Amino acid sequence: MSEQPLPTGISEEPDGIARCWWAAGDELYRTYHDTEWGRPVADDRTLFEKLSLEGFMAGLSWLTILRKREHFRRAFANFEASAIASFGPTDVERLLADAGIVRHRGKIEAVMNNARRCLELGDEFGSLAAYAWGFEPDVAARPPDLDQSALTAVTFSPEAKAMSRDLKRRSWAFVGPTTVYSFMEAMGLVNDHLTGCAVRPVVEAARAAFVRPTASA
């Protein structure tokens, strides 16, 4: 364990690793923080899953959703947009009866609608990844040192607001600016690991090596 005072918002766990405060105390959260959150992603299935689960999280905690994630995957065809796009009314009723997920008709129907809209984005841009990474925030506009107070003060960025507005224009649902910004944090479009977190430089290196997807000509 470190003998130096930890920066505000940094928690040092029994394993001696300094992490963002929100990952403390739960092994599932620690693993998610260490191996997933903030790592850049270009896989459309993963991106669509995260957007969908962020929509389900509205009014809940991410830990609640994380604990149900495997069941969500089984219920929603592993979040393959092409499969979900063919869901119909019987699937809505099936999902509303599934206690392993968040049973909210509006959110369920939003995922089905968004899957169809996701396929449209693929036709236009080549992939959901190329579309989403086109809204990557400018690193130069972000604080060089990120502490807990700075992070908690940010609920969305101008880019998240722009992406949210554009998705809504394209008839997506449950994609408000805060939801989109959480998606950006998780999928590596920004690095919101706090200064002093052991994972922050790892994510920085991953982002530096990451090849940004581009739209098809």
The residues annotated with a catalytic role in the active site are 32, 54, 62
Please name which of 195, 185, 143, 193 lies closest in space to residue 8, comparing C-alpha atoms: 195
Beta strands 10-12 and 18-20 are antiparallel
10: β partners: 20
Contacts of 215 (CB under 8 A, 6+ apart): 124, 125, 126, 130, 131, 134
Q: Could you report how far apart the first and last alpha carbons of the chain are, in Å?
A: 53
